[in-house]
Each structure stands twice: as structure tokens, then as C-alpha cells.
Structure 1
Amino acid sequence: MLRKQLGLSLQDLADQTELTKSYLSKVERGMSVPSVAVALKLSKALHVEVDQLFGEDSVQEAITIVRIADRVPMGQQQPEGGMQTKYEVLAARAGHKRLLPFMISPAKDFSVSEFKEHDGEELLFVHRGKIEIDFASHQVALSAGDAVYFNAQIPHRMRSIGAQVAEVLLVVSADDVAQ
């Protein structure tokens, strides 16, 4: 476990990330799935790239091919239609990245997703289904093929709307993430 290898207690990590010890313990045990914003905080505090929190050591390569079977799930996965948002890291074996790509299947209810805000920018592309993004001041509905690009410091959250759980490509800039 990376935290222990660095000689950090749960309290040390909680202090650095402004998260609770209880929540961090659940993440470590796979009982809670961290949001992208939380994963960015953890990677910065632990001085690693996000994918190193959830996958194998990265290999420096100029080209990285990721087959669907090679996606790295973040945390405990729920069956389709489950209450929790499903995240998959897309470029886990790539070397240093300035962009962090994820596939997300958002939950159908905003109540399971708090507003998130973090440094950098985000690009969301709806691959399948429909989503609604809540920017606190207004909500935007997007369908398959639609995209949105925004400053990630704007509070935001999303949910699947419609009959099927949506599948969304999320790309987050990672200039601030520790190398």
C-alpha cells in the first residue's frame, strides 16, 4: 500500500487531502469509490499519478493502446443500474500524462454525487445514453455525441437520465498533479 510505503498514517493523509480518516479507510479497503476530484487530491498528496493509485506501475511509452478488457476500475464496481457511479481509468499503463482519461457510467440520481470542483479543466463526451450536468447555477442535458468543456473549478456533478445508464468519456487536465 502506497500510503504505508511513504510512512504516512491515515491522519497524515487526511490532513493533506482535507478528507476524513473514515472515508480514506473505506477507499483503501475498496468500500468506497473516490471521485475524480478525490483521486486528484490523493495523487497529489502521495506524489504519484492518478493511475498509480488504482493500477500497476506505469511504463513510459509514447503510444498506449487500451483495449476494453484492459481498463482499470477505480474502487468497488456496482452492477449496471447500481447506485454508485462507475469509473474506469483508460490509460493506466501510459507514462507521464497531462490529460487523465476515464470512462464513467454516472449514477441515475444526483443524491449519490456531491458537487465536485478541482484544479484544471474537463472535457465530457457522451458516448452512449443521456446525462444531465448540474453546474449549481444551471443544469445542462447532453445526448450521445454531445460534449462539454469547462473550467473544473466550477462546482459540477452529473447523472444519467433516460432509460439506460450513460457512458461518458471524461478527460481531466493534470498539470497540477504531482509527478
Structure 2
Amino acid sequence: MLSDTLTSGLEQYRIGPKIRTLRLKKKLGLVQLGEHTGLSPAMLSKIERGQLFPTLPTLLRIAMVFGVGLEHFFVEASERPTIAVVRKKDRLRLPDRAGDAIPSYFFESLDFPVTDRKLQAFYAEFPSRSDASEPHQHAGAELIYVLKGRLAVGIAGDDIVLEEGDAMYFDSGAPHSYRGEGTSECLVIVVTAPK
């Protein structure tokens, strides 16, 4: 049995409707498709209706009948907008570095289901008086928005302190680090955009 998170992630690819569209274009019935693939019409019907998700070997058998690759089922059609809803209950809370006794911060990806991201968004929690994170850098740009508390961003030899409601944009190719400031936790939204 698949979890709700996995089911939701697989549903976004709309594999069943894509198979049905291919089948109808070829003017094949479920029985005929079953004869070509070795799969039962009942199983094919469940797959098309989204009641069953095919394994990769099963999907490949179906793809071969229609002369398409597996990517046909996983690449979004350009006419369909990309939409992903990430529920709070489905997010994973991770420390900035695994194994540290006291992490500098915890983060959660806000857009993990999107496969072809043009940006990456994170929710981050900095415990009160946390140590600075290790300096890091990556190509592109970064935007930070402070929801609550105070955050010190170390960049270019300076510590820039952001307060609740403040935002900061910078070239993330420069080494930078973060540190919660003050006696209360700091909550932040971080958005990165690669070049």
C-alpha cells in the first residue's frame, strides 16, 4: 500500500490518462492492448483510471506498444502548467548538517515534488543563539525573508542582521552563512534561483 504522499506524487504525472490517450489515438480496446502487452484488460483499466500505478517494467511494456519512451509519462506537456501543493504534514524537517549535536538550523523544502524547478524554496528554523552555519556558496541568487526573530547573514566579510519582515537578495556565488540572533527562534523563507 502506498502512502498518501507517494500516491499524490505519482498522481501528478497522470500516467493512467496518458496511457488512455495513447490507446484511443491508436483505436485500441483494452483487450487488444492486453494482447500486445501480456497484461489483463482489468489491470489496464485500473491503471488508466488511476486505481493502480504500474511498475517500470509494466509501463515499459505499454510504452513499447505505442513507440514512446518512459519519459513520455514523466515529462510534463508544455500546455499544462506546473502546479505543486506541498502540505505541511508532508514536509521533511532536516538539520543543516546531519550528525551535528546542535544544528545551526533546520529546513524543509517547500517545492520538493517539482522535478524541473526554476527556483528552490525552503522554510528554515534557527534555534535561539544558534552557531553560524558553515560558509557555503552556489551559483545563482538567493532571497531571504524573515518571518519571525532576527537572522545574521555573513557575506563578503560582513554580518548583516535582518529583523522580522526584512528581506535580502544577494549573489549566492559569494560564500555566505546564517546565524539566529537574539533569545528567540528565528523563522525564515529562503528562495534560491540557479543561473
Shared fold per TM-score greater than 0.5: yes
Change (3 A) 1:171 1:101: same
Higher mean alpha-carbon deviation, 58-67 vs 115-124, is at: 58-67
Tell me which amino acid in the other structure corresponds to 2:94: M
In the alignment, the residues of structure 2 paired with residue 146 and residue 115 of structure 1 have an alpha-carbon distance, to the nearest angstrom, of 21
Please name the residue that 2:161 is paired with.
141
Structure 1: segments with no counterpart, 5+ residues = 1-57
Taking structure 1 as the reference length, what is the TM-score of the superposition? Answer: 0.55
Change (3 A) 1:59 1:70: farther
For residues 18-167 of structure 1, what are the structure 2 equivalents within 5 Å?
62-74=82-94, 82-107=102-127, 108-111=129-132, 113-167=133-187
Aligned residues: 114
User: Deviation of residue 77 (structure 1)?
Assistant: 9.2
Greater RCO (Cα-Cα under 8 Å, separation 6 or more) = 1
CA RMSD of aligned residues (A): 2.6
Q: Percent of aligned positions with the same letter in both sequences? A: 27
Higher mean alpha-carbon deviation, 140-149 vs 88-97, is at: 88-97
Taking structure 2 as the reference length, what is the TM-score of the superposition? Answer: 0.51
Please name the residue that 2:4 is paired with.
none
Runs of 4+ off more than 6 Å? none
Higher mean alpha-carbon deviation, 90-99 vs 65-74, is at: 65-74
